[in-house]
Amino acid sequence: MRVELDEPKCVASGQCVVIAPDVFDQRDEDGVAVILEEHPPQDQREDVEEAVAVCPAAALRLVAE
């Protein structure tokens, strides 16, 4: 799986960081999400799926590979 971020949609809520901190972070200057691990390990899949689901701006998505 690959994680994608539609950066212009991000509203800097930080929910993804709270749920999957090994995969997501936020920029200091504006709080916009940053993907730390574009291809997260399988053992983090559940957290990443939850982070994608709760994103209030629908700025995240998972792509099967």
Give Rg (Cα) of the chain: 10
**Domains assigned to the chain:** 2-63 (3.30.70.20)
pLDDT higher than threshold 90 for residue 46: yes
pLDDT higher than threshold 90 for residue 61: yes
Q: Which two tokens stand for residue 2?
A: 């690959």
The model's pLDDT over 2-43, given as tens digits with 9 standing for 90+, comes to 999 999 999 999 999 999 999 999 999 999 999 999 999 999
The pLDDT assigned to 5 comes to 98
Q: Which two tokens stand for residue 53?
A: 């689901």
For residue 51, how many other CB atoms are within 10 A of its CB? 24
Q: What is the distance of C-alpha 1 from the center of its chain?
A: 13
Looking at the DSSP bridge assignments, the partners of residue 3 are 62
Q: Give CA–CA dist 52/20, Å, rounded.
A: 10
The pLDDT assigned to 30 comes to 97
pLDDT higher than threshold 90 for residue 65: no
